[in-house]
Structure 1
Amino acid sequence: MKATGVFLLFSLALFCYQGIAEVDGAAGRGTEPACGNFNLNRGCTRIFEPVCGTDDVLYSNECLLCLQNMQRGTNVRIKNRGMCLKPSPRSAN
């Protein structure tokens, strides 16, 4: 019984640590958006699944980040999924 409890606690600690490490690691360089999953010529859906770009701009979804990259010729990556912790002044407009 004790071995099972120790194993469960160890598993939980490892799971939490991996989650923290991914967020910290992505903060510097970000992760590449999966732009190949979207037909950018047809536009993007209005589904709100926010992503924060490495430019600290909040995008409503990953497709819109890809569309902005294509239109502006930039390579903004995904800093984290969800709201930006420190939004840029451009996000407020």
Structure 2
Amino acid sequence: MKATGAFLLFSLALCCYQGNAEMDGAADKETEAACGDYYLRNSCTKIFDPVCGTDNVLYSNECMLCFQNLQRNANVRIKNRGMCQKASPRSDSTQN
């Protein structure tokens, strides 16, 4: 009985470890934002689902990244979902 419990616990830990390894590896890949999914001429949702752009700027969600691309005629891609690792150049208080 103890051996079965230990085996199940080990199997569960191994599954969780493999899942995290894949997530970390995928975080290094840039992806194109799905801008076609949003009606950018109207407005974006206010739901906070942060994405970090390849310009190291934190956008509140993917729609806002697409909206800024449209406004600036740029092609910023999604560096990773979640917070940026480096400070955003626009959040620097020395630049006014």
Which category describes the TM-score, using the shorter chain as reference length? 0.7 to 0.9
Please state if 1:62 is matched with 2:66: no
Q: Which runs of 4+ in 1 moved over 4 A?
A: none
* Superposition TM-score, scaled by structure 1 size: 0.82
Q: Which has the larger radius of gyration?
A: 2
Higher normalized helix content (fraction of residues): 1
How far apart, CA to CA, are the structure 2 residues paired with 1:50 and 1:86? 14
Moved more, 52-61 or 39-48: 39-48
Structure 1 alignment gaps of length 5 or more: none
Name the residue aligned to 1:19: 23
Please state if 1:6 is matched with 2:10: yes
CA RMSD after TM alignment: 1.7
Structure 2 alignment gaps of length 5 or more: none
C-alpha distance after superposition, 1:21-64 (max 9, x if no partner): 111x32xxx11111111100112122222111010001111111
* Superposition TM-score, scaled by structure 2 size: 0.79
- Identity among equivalent positions (%) equals 51
Q: Is the partner of 1:52 in helix, strand or coil?
A: strand
